[in-house]
Amino acid sequence: MSSVAPIPSCSPAELPVPMTPSPFSFSVATIRWSSRSPFQAANLFLRLLALVFSFSSALSLAAPSPAKTMIGKSPSFYDDTKLLYCFIVNILTFLYAAYQLFKGICDIAHRGVFISDMVSDYISFIFDQFAGYLLISSSSVSVPVIQQMDHRTSLWKAATVSVCMSFALFLVIATSALLSGYKICKRIIW
């Protein structure tokens, strides 16, 4: 019985990993998630915050307006160009935050399918800068409007909530701008 050939040492566990992407690539994504975790997690969290803040800011400005304009009593936000400016900037930031969140989730699920990393880094850097400056501009313009407004109208409450949200959104976007600036610098230097 000693002439039996020994079991080959190359067990399935030691086989070289195939170069073609395997259908069981969830584990690879998990490994990448854990290795790139702190930066990517912070980025995703900031994008989620930006989405929530921009949505609630735009919603609080838009929500009380239609019902009141039907009655014809209370002024609407689109009668005032400054509040309209604030609303448009918030909507644009919401769309941008939604794109960034979608891109971040695509990155974790399967890398590089949606958009290349280099293009994405440049887009993030440029748009974060623009969004930050637009947000601080629109929020600043809205503050004097609120001060001059009648405090009993529902639009006053809506505009106050909206501007507070807008300032919080600005802080989030400014932090994102620092992160994306750091990423673009790393890309240029290395």
Residue 112 interacts with its own copies (CB under 8 A)?
A: no
Distance from C-alpha of 41 to C-alpha of 144, rounded to nearest angstrom: 37
Please identify which residue in 69, 74, 129, 175 interacts with its own copies, judged by CB under 8 A: 129
Distance from C-alpha of 116 to C-alpha of 96, rounded to nearest angstrom: 17
Which ranges constitute the DSSP H helices of the chain?
26-35, 37-62, 65-71, 81-109, 117-148, 154-189
Please identify which residue in 54, 138, 162, 176 interacts with its own copies, judged by CB under 8 A: 138
Distance from C-alpha of 97 to C-alpha of 51, rounded to nearest angstrom: 5
Q: How far is CA 115 from the centre of its chain?
A: 16
Q: With CB under 8 A, what is the number of residues at the site for its own copies?
A: 20
Crossing angle between the packed helical segments 26-35 and 37-62, to the nearest 10 degrees: 90
Report 146-175 residues binding its own copies (CB under 8 A). 174
Report 64-93 residues binding its own copies (CB under 8 A). 82
Distance from C-alpha of 91 to C-alpha of 153, rounded to nearest angstrom: 24
Please identify which residue in 40, 140, 153, 160 interacts with its own copies, judged by CB under 8 A: 140
Residue 141 interacts with its own copies (CB under 8 A)?
A: yes
Structure tokens at 108: 């974790």
Please identify which residue in 137, 154, 160, 175 interacts with its own copies, judged by CB under 8 A: 137
Are 139 and 34 in contact by the 8 Å Cβ rule? The answer is no
Residue 101 interacts with its own copies (CB under 8 A)?
A: no
Least separation, in Å, of the C-beta of 190 and its own copies?
8
Least separation, in Å, of the C-beta of 133 and its own copies?
5
Other C-beta atoms lying within 10 Å of the C-beta of residue 6:
5
Q: How many residues does the chain have?
A: 190
Report 10-49 residues binding its own copies (CB under 8 A). none
Please identify which residue in 106, 133, 149, 179 interacts with its own copies, judged by CB under 8 A: 133
Select 85 or 114, whichever has its Cβ closest to its own copies.
85
Residues of this chain that interact with its own copies (CB under 8 A) are 82, 129, 132-133, 136-141, 143-144, 174, 181-182, 185-186, 188-190
